[in-house]
Amino acid sequence: MSVEEETTASYILKHRRWRLRAPSGAEEPDTKAITVASSREIKAAAGARFGKACDSSIWKRLSSVLFEPANPFDSKAPRRLRREAVILGRMVLTFLLLELYFNLR
């Protein structure tokens, strides 16, 4: 029986079959440069990446749907509600009030 080696990146690169033969005298790939990241390093890298991204929270998404786009020339100007949001809000409120009226009657 043969002794099983630990499966590492260098083992795979050393034992894999080349589809195209490398020219004679070609160097083997450098397997010492391959590093394996731990779960803490991956979590820290993901946290840093998402920390750089814009804040796309639920409030930001809802405000972009309910309010008109911000004025690019006056950043302090208040954003008005969209017509669609006002009409839909009135319809929902009317439905809820009618539901309450006829169920409590």
Looking at residue 92, what is its pLDDT?
96
Provide the pLDDT for residue 50. Answer: 78
pTM: 0.41
Closest C-alpha among 4, 11, 7, 16 to residue 31: 11
DSSP 8-state class, residue 81: B
- In tens digits, the chain (105 residues) has pLDDT values of 456 667 777 777 776 665 555 556 666 666 667 778 888 988 988 888 877 766 667 887 788 888 998 888 988 899 999 999 999 999 999 999 999 999 987
pLDDT value at residue 72:
87
Give the separation between CA 59 and CA 104, rounded to whole angstroms.
Answer: 34
